[in-house]
């Protein structure tokens, strides 16, 4: 078994190369079929600009192309929608205009909240996907709820799932961290609701050609019915989302994206017994062409607008993952994504400046990012356990390039470089560099294969390591009923990626998963998905360190509800001891009412106490989340998490952790809001409170005023203030 693992990477990388030339022709033919017929439309040029007021009363909309042949995807794929939907599309030289009349037989049941931008979870929505390069890989996403609240983001066909912030919009999530300017209005009336939007061409990136051919997908979600409808129709028989989009042609002269944007930022922070610390900065953006953009930031803003959700860090073997929240690093993040997370920007702690160049020219997608960090985390030094880096500075650089091979497939190269020194003159004295190739291939209709092979090298002083390789391979099948995946990862202990995030190294890991979908596709049950997973990990001494078999069960249905359960049998080696354990997990979630969204999760079973003298104990865990919407503009979000660890089942308790979190937001208008956060951790006896007043006219034009308060319980049981901060942020976005 151990020797056979060596041949797996060779086999996996040979498969796509063998089928590549043949598959490209078949795949292009499938694209033509998917986008043909009456799902290829040409947007007419409006004689005048429609008024965006959400009423659809402007007669100019009748000049637009009319789309009304929507098809249901959930719960009953291929069926007629339960409610009629009509879309209107047109353009002028500056904007693409889209309006939707969403008929509803019960307008009072339409789910819509007046909330802050990018926060329409649980609402009825209209979502527009624009694949402006028509490459079936990446699309701009524009979403509006019946109150006119905007969401925008980037959908990437092959992006990593399960980390960072995602978004709704059907089964496939999208990254909501992208922010741009577009205009929307909506109105609920006796027929249902209407949505109007104007998307400036300056807000998009597209080929620098006279005529535009874009992928277009329009989705309507009817939340109370668990219903999703699409134009172009969507099918589980096709592996991929953007490959199922229709086609939109824009044949006239439009405004290209050679715009210049300026965003000055001023933040102020005041702690107890200190003066106000004012911190100015500026962000600049220049559209070199319609498909290539340069960004520069000086003293970028990292004020305390977003707070990390609390996580349990007691008795954890591996590092916890916290998502990026800073605007400069979030925008265009998908350009640098690869199977390995080689770019984890929270490793850039205190940047003085940063610059980025991102875009796509022809079939080449490229990205470059550089940042100067005044207090960088250390580079792992193989020759010294605790190097003194207190006075060091860091220069971080990332270069990424991808070449489209055919629809949904690419080859790529990435280079990350972290330089460290005590001054600018000797900044390259120490470094960590990682470089490698990766690829993603669509094979036949249902299969995909991706790989990445990289090498790292570290230099500290006069010492330099050899190049240390790491590799990752994935082969998967996704179809209507049968799905499976096969993953192989090989990461040596001395592989070092100073800009990346790796929870674990010194592994040769092989895992596989097989699932089958039963599809009742009715009002109460949409699908039932049992699955079986197997995982086996060796270290580089050829010692078996992990083995796991997991049986899972997943069911979705009524009112966006789901039930998940799994039973695992595992072996984990820790401190030279093989621990055998069994555990059970469950998760239930539902949106039974317009004002209520709730979930409950639990687990129990054998667990390891990670210590110098580890032992096998027993652990129970449960938690719930509750979202309440008592008013259209009031939302309260609560989470509770409880962990208990015992010496053995029924034995003495070793520790208990309770974490309670509260998020209450009150939206006075579409631009003005109040938010209160309260987090309590009884293990550390700490309370965190944050009050935020926000005025957000549009992305980049904002004013925030907030108060953060940290309290900790002393030996007498009294909570005392450990830190209190008042902060202010103001920024204004000019587009020239």
pLDDT band of residue 179 (cuts 50, 70, 90) is confident
What average pLDDT does range 30-40 have in this prediction? 55
DSSP class of 15: H
User: Of the ranges 22-36, 360-374, 522-536, 687-701, which one carries the lowest mean pLDDT score?
Assistant: 22-36
Torsion of CA 623, 517, 160, 441, to 10 degrees: 170
pLDDT (tens digit per residue) in 371-410: 999 989 888 777 776 666 667 899 999 999 999 998 889 9
pLDDT band of residue 580 (cuts 50, 70, 90) is very high
- Name the token pair of 549: 């078999």
- Name the token pair of 47: 């004689």
pLDDT (tens digit per residue) in 69-109: 999 999 999 999 999 999 999 999 999 999 999 999 999 99
What average pLDDT does range 403-419 have in this prediction? 93
- Domains within the chain, CATH numbers bracketed: 38-250 (2.60.40.1190)
CA pair distance 170, 395, nearest whole angstrom: 40
Higher pLDDT, 147 or 388: 147
CA pair distance 50, 73, nearest whole angstrom: 31
Please state, as a whole number, how many other Cβ atoms lie within 10 Å of the Cβ of residue 149: 23
pLDDT of residue 12: 42
Higher pLDDT, 304 or 331: 331
- Count of all residues that appear for the chain in the document: 736
pLDDT at residue 58 above 50?
A: yes
Judge contact between 134 and 213, C-beta under 8 A: yes
- Name the token pair of 731: 């920024």
pLDDT of residue 307: 67
Judge contact between 177 and 330, C-beta under 8 A: yes
pLDDT (tens digit per residue) in 119-137: 898 999 999 999 999 999 9
Across the chain, mean pLDDT equals 88
Judge contact between 101 and 190, C-beta under 8 A: no
pLDDT of residue 193: 98
pTM: 0.89
What average pLDDT does range 454-478 have in this prediction? 94
pLDDT (tens digit per residue) in 634-671: 999 999 999 999 999 999 999 999 999 999 999 999 99
Three-class SS of residue 221?
strand
pLDDT of residue 17: 42
In the chain, what percentage of residues exceed pLDDT 90? 70
DSSP class of 45: B
- Name the token pair of 101: 């009349």
What average pLDDT does range 491-516 have in this prediction? 95
pLDDT (tens digit per residue) in 232-268: 999 999 999 999 999 999 998 888 766 789 999 999 8
pLDDT of residue 30: 44
* Nearest Cα residue to 55 out of 218, 197, 198, 196: 196
DSSP class of 462: T
* Nearest Cα residue to 529 out of 564, 560, 559, 558: 564
Query: Best-predicted range by mean pLDDT among 11-25, 187-201, 416-430?
Result: 187-201
Q: Buried (b) or exposed (e) across 160-179, using 16+ Cβ within 10 A?
A: eeeebbbbbbbebbbbbbbb
pLDDT of residue 304: 56
CA pair distance 178, 174, nearest whole angstrom: 10
pLDDT (tens digit per residue) in 60-70: 999 999 999 99
What 3 state SS string does 359-423 have?
Answer: EEECCEEEEEEEEEECCCCCCCCCCCCCCCCCCCEEEEEEEEEEEEEECCEEEEEEEEEEEEECC
pLDDT at residue 513 above 90?
A: yes
DSSP class of 18: H
User: Of the ranges 155-164, 284-293, 362-371, which one carries the lowest mean pLDDT score?
Assistant: 155-164
Please state, as a whole number, how many other Cβ atoms lie within 10 Å of the Cβ of residue 436: 21
pLDDT of residue 303: 53
What average pLDDT does range 702-729 have in this prediction? 90
pLDDT at residue 719 above 80?
A: yes
Asked if the bond preceding 75 is cis, omega within 30° of 0, the reply is: yes
């Amino acid at each position: 078994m151990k020797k056979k693992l060596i041949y797996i990477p060779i086999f996996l990388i040979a498969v796509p190369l063998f089928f590549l030339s043949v598959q490209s022709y078949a795949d292009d033919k499938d694209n033509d079929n998917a986008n043909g017929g009456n799902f290829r439309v040409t947007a007419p040029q409006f004689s005048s600009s429609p008024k965006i007021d959400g009423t659809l009363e402007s007669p100019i909309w009748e000049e637009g192309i009319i789309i009304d042949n929507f098809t249901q995807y959930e719960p009953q794929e291929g069926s007629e929608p339960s409610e009629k939907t009509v879309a209107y599309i047109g353009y002028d030289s500056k904007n693409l205009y889209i309006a939707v009349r969403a008929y509803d037989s019960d307008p009072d049941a339409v789910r819509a909240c007046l909330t802050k931008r990018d926060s329409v979870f649980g609402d009825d929505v209209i979502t527009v996907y624009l694949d402006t390069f028509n490459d079936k890989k990446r699309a701009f996403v524009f979403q509006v709820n019946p109150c006119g609240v905007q969401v925008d983001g980037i959908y990437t066909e092959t992006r990593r799932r399960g980390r960072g912030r995602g978004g709704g919009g059907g089964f496939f999530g999208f990254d909501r961290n992208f922010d741009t300017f577009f205009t929307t209005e909506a109105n609920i009336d006796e027929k249902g609701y209407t949505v109007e939007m104007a998307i400036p061409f300056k807000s998009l990136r597209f080929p620098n050609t006279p005529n535009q051919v874009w992928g277009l997908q329009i989705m309507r979600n009817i939340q109370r019915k668990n219903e999703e409808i699409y134009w172009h129709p969507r099918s589980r028989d096709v592996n991929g989302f953007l490959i199922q989009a229709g086609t939109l042609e824009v044949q006239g002269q439009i405004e290209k994206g050679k715009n210049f944007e300026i965003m000055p930022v001023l933040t102020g922070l005041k702690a107890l017994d200190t003066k106000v610390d004012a911190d100015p900065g500026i962000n600049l953006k220049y559209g070199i062409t319609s498909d290539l953009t340069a960004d520069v930031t000086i003293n970028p803003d990292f004020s305390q607008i977003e707070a990390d959700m609390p996580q349990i860090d007691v008795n954890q073997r591996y590092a916890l993952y916290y998502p990026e929240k800073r605007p400069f690093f979030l925008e265009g993040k998908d350009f640098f994504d690869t199977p390995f997370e080689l770019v984890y920007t929270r490793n850039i702690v205190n940047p003085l400046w940063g610059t980025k160049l991102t875009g796509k020219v022809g079939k080449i997608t490229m990205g470059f990012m550089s940042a100067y960090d005044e207090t960088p985390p250390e580079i792992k030094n193989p020759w010294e356990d605790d190097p003194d880096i207190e006075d060091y500075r860091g220069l971080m650089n990332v270069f990424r390039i991808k070449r489209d091979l055919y629809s949904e497939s690419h080859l790529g190269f990435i280079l990350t470089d972290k330089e460290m020194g005590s001054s600018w003159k000797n900044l390259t004295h120490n470094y960590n560099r990682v470089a490698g190739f990766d690829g993603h291939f669509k094979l036949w209709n249902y299969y995909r294969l991706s790989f990445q092979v990289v090498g790292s090298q570290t230099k500290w002083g006069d010492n330099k390591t050899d190049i240390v390789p790491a590799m990752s391979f994935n082969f998967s099948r996704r179809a209507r009923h049968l799905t499976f995946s096969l993953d192989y990862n090989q990461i040596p202990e001395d592989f070092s990626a100073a800009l990346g995030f790796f929870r674990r190294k010194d592994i040769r890991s092989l895992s596989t998963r097989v699932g089958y979908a039963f599809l009742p596709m009715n009002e109460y049950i949409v699908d039932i998905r049992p699955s079986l997973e197997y995982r086996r990990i060796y270290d580089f001494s050829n010692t078996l360190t992990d083995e796991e078999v997991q049986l899972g069960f997943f069911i979705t249905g009524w009112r966006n509800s789901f039930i998940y359960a799994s039973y695992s049998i595992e072996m984990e080696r820790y401190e030279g001891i093989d621990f055998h354990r069994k555990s059970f997990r469950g998760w239930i979630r539902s949106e039974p009412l317009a004002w209520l969204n709730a979930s409950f999760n639990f687990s129990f079973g054998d667990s390891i106490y990670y210590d110098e003298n580890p032992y096998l104990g027993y652990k129970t865990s449960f938690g719930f989340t509750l979202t309440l919407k008592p008013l259209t503009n009031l939302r309260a979000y609560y989470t509770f998490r409880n962990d208990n660890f015992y010496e053995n089942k029924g034995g003495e308790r070793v520790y208990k952790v309770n974490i309670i979190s509260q998020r209450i937001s009150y939206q006075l208008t579409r631009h003005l809001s109040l938010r209160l956060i309260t987090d309590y951790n009884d293990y550390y006896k700490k309370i965190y409170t944050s009050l935020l007043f926000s005025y957000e006219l549009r992305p980049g034009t904002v004013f925030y005023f907030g108060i953060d308060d940290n309290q900790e319980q002393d030996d007498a049981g009294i909570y005392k203030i450990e830190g209190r901060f008042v902060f202010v942020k103001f920024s204004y976005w000019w587009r020239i």
